[in-house]
């Protein structure tokens, strides 16, 4: 098959497009900003958008000067850029309507560019060549629009599928966690009227109290999950937080739990002072330390949890490590997901119960403050969690 070379007019307009690609990107953004009824940063929350649009325009110029019978969909570079734009706008919480409007304005700006360049070209560009170039640009914009929106919608579809799976898992776990204590309570309700005052009364009342506490614990965890899932809508108030003081307060909250399991928590007095949202920071350490205590190793004579400053010199880090039972290697990759538990088969032995939400809460809280959490663990030896926050401005 014979390849048809691009016409001189197409090559001319492509050169002009390459030269003006950043100016056109600026014009596109200004046109969009002029139509907004809200602040510009609410729709375009970062400069990343302008990193993508000039690249797209450059690739469109390449397409314009490519052989006439080539298709832009075959250009993997430009299609990848269009897909990246879809990913970016998804992360920035745009809408399909916004994307359609953005591409409509994008097409208008390119059309006006062609009109201006054709008017001032020398030698003049023929009408037929100008219309051909404009049609080729329109084809490119439509193809890129489809790629961007397909990627954007695909991300939302994945999110919906993930949320649906979480709802199914949530329902299964709630049913499992509540069914047993509720069953016990139903039996006790029938037994108590005939056994009050008998020698069995104290034992029955203890069982009643234990199962009511268990249901209450499940309800509290579900409430915490609700707060976690709505955290993206919160507007946290960051302030200076002395982590040594905060962790000391957390350990005081867990005093009854640590005493019951004979676990010693050692807190370094040189933990960093960071600008954080205190409630999220408290949730992070509450869950990590409670987990370390819950999964302490009953076979060891000394059970300890250490909260120390990390060794990373580039960013503030805190390490929470223990000498507990550890996490199986095949569970490490999944341990930060909701409803994942490392040792459900040892609940009775360890007296440990839960919904598998603690480490998911830790991950969500760290992500909310642009931090990270990582884990290293060896079964029967212990577990180390490393928390890292961004360096303060000017550090």
- b/e burial code for range 48-84 (CB count within 10 A of at least 16 → b): ebeebbbbbbbbbbbbbbbeeeeebbebeebbebbbb
Q: Kindly state whether residue 212 falls inside one of the protein's structural domains.
A: no
| End-of-domain residue from the set 123, 144, 162 | 162
Q: Please, are residues 169 and 339 in contact by the beta-carbon 8 Å criterion?
A: yes
Residue 184 clears pLDDT 60, i.e. is over it: yes
Q: Tell me the three state secondary structure of residue 241.
A: strand
Residue 81 counted as domain residue: yes
Residue 219 lies in a domain: no
Supply angle C-alpha 113, 119, 124, rounded to 5: 120
Q: What pLDDT score was predicted for residue 306? A: 97
260 and 389, same domain (yes or no): yes
Do 143 and 276 belong to one domain? Answer: no
Peptide bond into 123 cis (omega under 30): yes
Q: Which domain holds residue 98?
A: 8-162
Q: What is the mean pLDDT of residues 239-256?
A: 91
For residue 1, pLDDT over 50 is answered with no
In this structure, the answer to whether residues 140 and 244 fall within a common structural domain is no
Considering the domain boundaries, does residue 35 fall inside one?
Answer: yes
> Residue-wise over 184-201: b if at least 16 C-beta within 10 A, else e?
beeebeeeeeeeeeeeee
* pLDDT value at residue 177: 61
Same structural domain for residues 145 and 293?
A: no
335 vs 264, residue with greater confidence: 264
Q: Torsion over CA of 335, 231, 293 and 371, rounded to 10 degrees?
A: 70
Q: Is residue 192 pLDDT above 60, yes or no? A: yes
- Domain-terminating residue out of 162, 185, 217: 162
Whether 168 is in a domain gets the answer no
- Quote the CA–CA distance of 189 and 182 in Å, as a whole number: 10
Over range 349-361, report the average pLDDT: 70
User: Within the chain, where are the H helices?
Assistant: 8-19, 21-34, 40-43, 48-64, 76-91, 96-120, 127-195, 201-229, 243-253, 255-261, 278-294, 347-350, 358-368
Q: What is the pLDDT of residues 37-66, one digit of tens each?
A: 445 555 454 555 556 778 878 888 888 887
Indicate if the pLDDT at residue 260 is higher than 80.
yes
Query: Are residues 145 and 27 located together in one domain of the fold?
Result: yes
In a domain, 181, yes or no: no
Assigned domain for 193 exists: no
Output the domain CATH number for residue 375: 3.30.565.10
Is the model's pLDDT at 27 over the cut of 60?
yes
Q: Is the pTM of this model over 0.85?
A: no
Kindly state whether residue 101 falls inside one of the protein's structural domains: yes
At residue 324, does pLDDT exceed 60? yes
- Tell me the residue length of the chain: 395
> Is 377 in the same domain as 245?
yes
Q: Are residues 136 and 247 in the same domain?
A: no
Angle between helices 278-294 and 243-253 (to 10 degrees): 50
pLDDT for the residue numbered 38: 44
Identify whether residues 149 and 247 lie together within a single domain: no
Residue where one domain finishes, among candidates 129, 162, 195? 162
Is it the case that residue 113 has pLDDT exceeding 80? yes
Per the CB < 8 A criterion, the answer to whether 295 and 304 are in contact is no
Are residue 252 and residue 358 in the same domain, yes or no? yes
pLDDT computed for residue 387 by the predictor: 96
Q: Which residue has the higher pLDDT, 372 or 190?
A: 372
Q: Are 116 and 241 found together in one domain?
A: no
More confident residue, 8 or 2: 8
Number of structural domains (the chain) is 2
Q: Tens digits of per-residue pLDDT, 151-162?
A: 999 998 888 887
- CATH value at residue 112: 1.10.490.10
Average pLDDT over residues 203-226: 68
> Among 140, 152, 42, 142, which Cα is nearest to 96's?
152
Nearest to 129 by CA among 4, 12, 3: 12
Residue 156 shares a structural domain with residue 21: yes
Claim to verify: residue 144 and residue 34 sit in the same structural domain: yes
pLDDT at residue 251 in the model: 93
């Amino acid at each position: 098959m014979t390849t048809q070379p691009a016409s001189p007019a197409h090559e001319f307009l492509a050169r002009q497009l390459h030269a003006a690609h950043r100016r056109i990107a600026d014009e596109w953004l200004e046109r969009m900003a002029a139509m907004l009824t809200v602040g510009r940063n609410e729709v375009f929350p970062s400069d990343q958008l302008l990193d993508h649009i000039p690249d797209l325009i450059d690739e469109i110029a390449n397409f314009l000067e490519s052989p006439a019978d080539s298709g832009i969909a075959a250009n993997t570079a430009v299609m990848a850029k269009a897909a990246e734009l879809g990913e970016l706008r998804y992360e920035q919480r745009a809408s399909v309507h916004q994307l359609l409007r953005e591409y409509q304005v994008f097409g208008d700006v390119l059309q006006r560019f062609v009109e201006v360049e054709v008017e001032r070209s020398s030698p003049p560009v023929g009408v037929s060549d100008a219309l051909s170039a404009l049609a080729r640009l329109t084809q490119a914009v439509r193809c890129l629009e489809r790629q961007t929106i397909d990627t954007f919608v695909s991300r939302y579809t994945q999110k919906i599928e993930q949320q649906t799976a979480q709802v199914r898992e949530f329902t299964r776990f709630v049913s499992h966690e509540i069914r047993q204590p509720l069953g016990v309570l139903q039996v006790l309700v029938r037994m108590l009227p005939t056994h009050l005052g008998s020698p069995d009364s104290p034992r029955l009342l203890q069982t009643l109290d234990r199962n009511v506490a268990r249901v209450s614990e499940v309800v509290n965890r579900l409430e915490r999950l609700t707060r976690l899932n709505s955290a993206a809508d919160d507007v946290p108030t960051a302030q200076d937080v002395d982590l040594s003081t905060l962790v000391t307060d957390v350990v005081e909250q867990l005093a009854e739990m640590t005493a019951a399991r004979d676990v010693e928590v050692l807190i370094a007095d040189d933990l960093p002072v960071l600008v954080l949202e205190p409630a999220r920071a408290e949730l992070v350490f509450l869950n990590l330390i409670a987990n370390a205590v819950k999964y302490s190793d009953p076979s060891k004579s000394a059970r300890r949890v250490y909260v120390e400053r990390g060794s990373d010199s580039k960013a503030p880090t805190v390490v929470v490590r223990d000498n507990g039972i550890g996490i199986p290697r095949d569970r490490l990759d999944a341990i930060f997901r909701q409803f994942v538990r490392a040792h459900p088969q040892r609940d009775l032995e360890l007296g440990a119960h839960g919904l598998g939400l603690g480490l998911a809460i830790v991950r969500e809280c760290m992500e909310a403050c642009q931090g990270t959490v990582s884990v290293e663990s060896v079964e029967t030896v212990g577990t180390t969690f490393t928390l890292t926050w961004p360096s303060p401005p000017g550090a």
